[in-house]
Amino acid sequence: MAMMAYRDALNLALKEEMRRDDRVFLMGEEVGAYQGAYRVSKGLLQEFGPRRVIDTPIAEAGFVGAGVGAAMVGLRPVVEVMTFNFAVAAMDSIVNSAAKVRYMSGGQVSVPMVIRGPGGSARQLAAQHSQALEAWFCHVPGLKVCAPSTPRDARGLLKSAIRDDNPVLVIESELLYGATGEVPEAEEVIPLGVAEVVRAGRDATVIAYSKMVREALAAAKALAGEGVDVEVIDPRTLRPFDWETVLASVRKTKRAVVVQEGWTFCGVAAEIAATISAEAFDDLDAPVERVTSLDVPLPYARPLEAATVPEAGKIAAAVKRALYLV
């Protein structure tokens, strides 16, 4: 194992896949000469040249659409959006083209493309740059959605996404780009749709993804000091979703807390909670708890921002509610 930053793990995955398959290319704002807004594409232009590392105008509707077209004719584009907030400008290409072409062509035309970049909040980027919109994309048949929480998962899931013959969205976290963790020195491709039990426990199950996994683990550590043993599950892929792993854990612990950074109403956590309630109702000893951001645009002011998003203390409180300790 080697210690590696999240951004460097993504960079490694891109290099490995671009070396492996000359149909793979990267396009997006500032991915070439500037080497990426978050340095994920550092060194790629120098190694692969301007035909495979393409700087685009600030026009998501245009370059995401170009990526869809390139995928339809046999290339494998990786399209970087500087923030998923601005993928909203390309929703027609993503939802009405990328997600539907394979179905509407009867399987004759595939769209093997990846759309990747940061989603969710960072530090005082305000409401237009701080939205966790993954539920929008998970709602659409034909799209796959990943949310890696560690450098190892970032590398392995991105490699799997690039090799997939369907459009895959890899939603990263700006606050995780500098986070470090162990990454195998040998090649590792992590299958889409396989969750990971990142902490085993017996008293309650916490399901969290992306940077919320770190908050869930911090909550579990704090609760351990109070004699509460929490199991933490990272789905890693939000669509397809590994229901088997999650339901097995809930049936064991009898209690579930679902954490997401997005808003409560119609969120990913709502889908997870509803499925747990439907499929494991007789095993539950308490209602499923949800920990989400407040139902407001994210404030710019640092104290208000901190009060809006989920954090370890809120997760620990939800676990205690599930255990009837408060």
User: Could you tell me which of 109, 82, 84, 105 has the C-alpha nearest to residue 94?
Assistant: 84
Question: Total domain count for the chain?
Answer: 2
Q: Calculate the alpha carbon distances from 141 to 95, 135, 167 in Å.
A: 9, 12, 11
Burial-class residue 247 by CB neighbours within 10 Å (0-12, 13-18, 19+).
middle
Report the pLDDT value the prediction gives residue 123, as an integer from 0 to 100.
87
Distance CA 24, CA 156 (A): 16
List the Cα angle 179/181/184 in 5-degree steps: 140
Does 48 reside within a domain? Answer: yes
**Residues 174 and 202 grouped into a single domain:** no
Where among 139, 154, 183 does a domain terminate? Answer: 183
CB 183 within 8 A of CB 157: no
**Structure-block tokens of residue 71:** 């995928």
Helix extents (H) in the chain: 6-20, 44-48, 60-72, 91, 101-104, 134-138, 151-163, 212-224, 243-253, 268-279, 302-308, 312-322
Q: What are phi and psi of 106, to 5 degrees?
A: 65, 30
- Number of Cβ within 10 Å of residue 218's Cβ equals 15
Is 125 within a domain? yes
Catalytic residues: 60, 129
Structural domain that includes position 215? 196-322
Contact predicate 234/147, CB 8 Å = no
Q: Same structural domain for residues 145 and 283?
A: no
Strand-pairing partners, residue 263, are 293
Q: Is residue 157 part of a domain?
A: yes
Q: What's 258's domain CATH number?
A: 3.40.50.920
Whole-model pTM: value is 0.96
Contact between residue 5 and residue 151 where contact means Cβ atoms under 8 Å apart = yes
Mean pLDDT estimate for the chain: 97
Q: Is residue 233 part of a domain?
A: yes
What is d(CA 225, CA 232) in angstroms, rounded to the nearest whole number? 16
- Examine residue 190 and state whether it is found in any structural domain, yes or no: no
Helices (H) and strands (E) in the chain, counts: 12, 14
CB 204 within 8 A of CB 230: yes
CA–CA separation, 40 and 175 (whole Å):
13
Write down which residue in 183, 210, 233 finishes a domain.
183
Phi, psi of 2 (to 5 degrees): -120, 140
| Sites in the chain below the pLDDT cut of 50 | none
Which among 52, 128, 123, 139 has a CA at the least distance from the CA of 88?
128
Residue 189 lies in a domain: no
pLDDT at 1: 86
DSSP string of 159-201? HHHHH-SS-EEEEEEGGGTT-EEEE-SS---PPTT--EEEE--
Would you state the structure tokens that stand for residue 275, as one six-digit string? 């499925």
Query: What are the structure tokens assigned to 323, written together?
Result: 């255990």
Tokens of 282: 């007789």
Residues 6 or more apart in contact with residue 298 via CB below 8 angstroms: 121, 126, 127, 130, 131, 305, 308, 309
Task: For residue 74, count other CB atoms closer than 10 A to its CB.
Answer: 10
The token pair at 6 is 């999240």
Residue 158 lies in a domain: yes
Q: Considering the domain boundaries, does residue 124 fall inside one?
A: yes
On whether both 74 and 27 belong to a single domain, the answer is yes
Question: Which residue, among 196, 261, 260, 252, has the nearest Cα to 229 in the 3D structure?
Answer: 252
